[in-house]
Amino acid sequence: MEWHKLSFGKIALLRSNVAEIMVDEGVDIDVQMVNEIHNHLLSLFTHSFSLLINKSNAYSTQLDALILFGSLTAINKIAIFAPNKLAKLSADFSATIPSSTHLNIQVFTERNEAISWL
């Protein structure tokens, strides 16, 4: 698996229509970072795609950035891998943001289950 480096994390292409996003430890995701993610994803895919959000590292996301993230219309599904209780609480909250409620989002505690669902 080849990782593409972002200024605050990395993205890997798992399949022709699935990417995994992993944010570095301690990062506070803002709107500029979400735009960087969107631009990178749109450079990888010419069609709709699904995402695995890997929350193995602890990071935060500003509310306006969280709202913007869910606005990318090319996203089919989002699986969030939340390996611990705090990550799961954060992921469950993110899935309730109004811009996210129209997306097909599931939270998983096992990475393989998340990938299988995608």
- Domain total in the chain: 1
pTM: 0.91
| Residue 64 lies in domain | 3-117
Cα–Cα distances (Å) from 95 to 3, 7, 77, 80, in that order, read: 25, 24, 12, 9
Residue-level pLDDT at 102: 72
What phi and psi values does residue 61 have, to the nearest 5 degrees?
-135, 125
CATH of the domain at 63: 3.30.750
Report pLDDT digits (tens) over 3-61: 999 999 999 999 999 999 999 999 999 999 999 999 999 999 999 999 999 999 999 99
Residue type, 74: A
